[in-house]
Amino acid sequence: MTAASNATPPTQTLDVQPTPLALLLLGREADPRSERGVECPGDLPSPSDPDLVARARAAKERLGDRVFVLGHHYQRDEVIEFADVTGDSFKLAREAAARPDAEYIVFCGVHFMAESADILTSDDQQVVLPDLAAGCSMADMATAEQVAECWDVLAEAGVSEQTVPVAYMNSSADIKSFTGRHGGTICTSSNAARALGWAFEQVDPDRGKVLFLPDQHLGRNTAVRDMGMSLEDCVVYNPHKPNGGLTPEELRDARMILWRGHCSVHGRFSVDSVRDVRERMPGVNVLVHPECKNEVVAAADFVGSTEYIINTLEAAPAGSKWAIGTELNLVRRLANRYAAEGKEIAFLDRTVCFCSTMNRIDLPHLVWALESLADGTTVNRIQVDRETEKFAKLALERMLALP
């Protein structure tokens, strides 16, 4: 469990609910079923305040080395401008851990990332998420209760002892903790194949299985592309159906038990998007994130994590053309950055596709968080309880020790 706290009230326990509505419109709308909290205690600056940039700079200067601001690649430009370091979720959690002198870690990302930063930093460091509504629909698709129930189903089918959980970094602290408690590891989109290789070494080669949480697409793509498995080796556990919608025989025969979760952003790309962009941009290289569906990954030319996408475009020759299947804020930033080098970079789909919860962190929330800290008030602190932290950390440490 995690708590998020403000000066008033001091502590707010988060009630994590599954997310029936994956995508929200941009703006201030609230869906209490899918968001952890949208209240912003205190006065949020107006988005039209012409002094926002100056206020953010001034507050950051007042805080000096006491604050370290992390910016995920999918954040808005107006927020990224104030990040001391940018990266994917894992890189940012490690960056936070490498700054033991920073009293405050302001995490411009989403909730599970701030949790991971809290787990990896010391107890006297405070991790702040500028807007508590910045959740992740994928992470919310696997709750602690649902996963515990799934484990019971696996036990009933007689397969839990030969199953190792592997949880994607994009999961709540509760799920990471479950994973650590049951002998599993965390993975990122960069090291998922190594994590699966390690997991299968822990079990009987003929009967062993992995329960992959919560992103079915990353699990399936890694199993099929990197581990030489077939699509038939994978089954999907649906937490909204009795026994996950699977028979004991199906569970016994499977090698990969994939949780029925997905990213609302990457799940939107389709084979039609790939076909369409190849017609629009002859000679284009299609590069997608492994959170995309398997058929999209199969139709692409290159597949890799956010860091892989950035490095590939950095190394691409002048004159090359790219269509990128990942979050739009990052694609737009990369397109602008490399236009001067003659690299043509387009978004894979014709429709706009931001991560709506990432976009919750905007300049008014960042200014509010920084000014509150500079005035001596900690707001929106994200704190993972010790018991959860203990096993979540164990799972994270197993990932760090992967060969």
Binding site for ligand SF4 (CB under 6 A): 74, 110, 136-138, 170, 263-265, 327, 355, 357-358
Residue with smaller CB distance to ligand SF4, 160 or 357? 357
Please state the closest distance from residue 365 (CB atom) to ligand SF4, in A: 16
Please state the closest distance from residue 136 (CB atom) to ligand SF4, in A: 3
Here the tokens at position 382 are 């994200």
Please state the closest distance from residue 215 (CB atom) to ligand SF4, in A: 7
- Taking CA 118 as the corner, what is the angle to CA 70 and CA 375, rounded to the nearest 5 degrees? 65
Place of tokens 């299968």: 200
Distance CA 209, CA 357 (A): 33
Please state the closest distance from residue 217 (CB atom) to ligand SF4, in A: 10
Q: Which of 394, 396, 383, 339 is nearest to 3 (CA)?
A: 383
Q: If residue 199 lies in a helix (H) or strand (E), which one and from where to where?
A: helix 192-201
Q: Is residue 111 part of an annotated ligand binding site?
A: no
Please state the closest distance from residue 359 (CB atom) to ligand SF4, in A: 9
Here the tokens at position 314 are 């950095």
Residue with smaller CB distance to ligand SF4, 141 or 399? 141
| Alpha carbon distance, N-terminus to C-terminus of the chain | 30
One-letter amino acid at 344 equals E
Distance CA 188, CA 400 (A): 11
Residue with smaller CB distance to ligand SF4, 220 or 343? 220
Cβ atoms 12, 4 nearer than 8 A: yes
Indicate the SS3 state at residue 181: helix
Q: Which of 127, 130, 115, 132 is nearest to 167 (CA)?
A: 115
Residue with smaller CB distance to ligand SF4, 265 or 310? 265
Q: Verify cis geometry, omega within 30 degrees of 0, for the bond prior to 10.
A: no
Residue with smaller CB distance to ligand SF4, 110 or 199? 110
Please state the closest distance from residue 212 (CB atom) to ligand SF4, in A: 15
Please state the closest distance from residue 155 (CB atom) to ligand SF4, in A: 29
Secondary structure, 3-state, 207-272: CCEEEEECCHHHHHHHHHHHCCCCHHHEEEECCCCHHHHCCHHHHHHCCEEEECCCCCCHHHCCHH
Residue with smaller CB distance to ligand SF4, 218 or 223? 218
Please state the closest distance from residue 331 (CB atom) to ligand SF4, in A: 12
Burial of 11 (0-12, 13-18, 19+ CB in 10 A): exposed
Q: Is residue 168 part of an annotated ligand binding site?
A: yes
Here the tokens at position 93 are 């959690």
Q: If residue 396 lies in a helix (H) or strand (E), which one and from where to where?
A: helix 386-400
Q: Is residue 169 part of an annotated ligand binding site?
A: yes
Residue with smaller CB distance to ligand SF4, 137 or 191? 137
Q: Is residue 150 part of an annotated ligand binding site?
A: no
Q: Is residue 263 part of an annotated ligand binding site?
A: yes
Q: Is residue 187 part of an annotated ligand binding site?
A: no
Report the relative pairing of strands 302-303 and 256-259 from DSSP bridges. Answer: unpaired
Q: Is residue 72 part of an annotated ligand binding site?
A: yes
Residue with smaller CB distance to ligand SF4, 60 or 72? 72
User: Residues comprising the binding site for [4Fe-4S] cluster?
Assistant: 136, 263, 355
User: Residues comprising the binding site for iminosuccinate?
Assistant: 72, 89, 168-170, 189, 289-291, 306
User: Residues comprising the binding site?
Assistant: 72, 89, 136, 168-170, 189, 263, 289-291, 306, 355
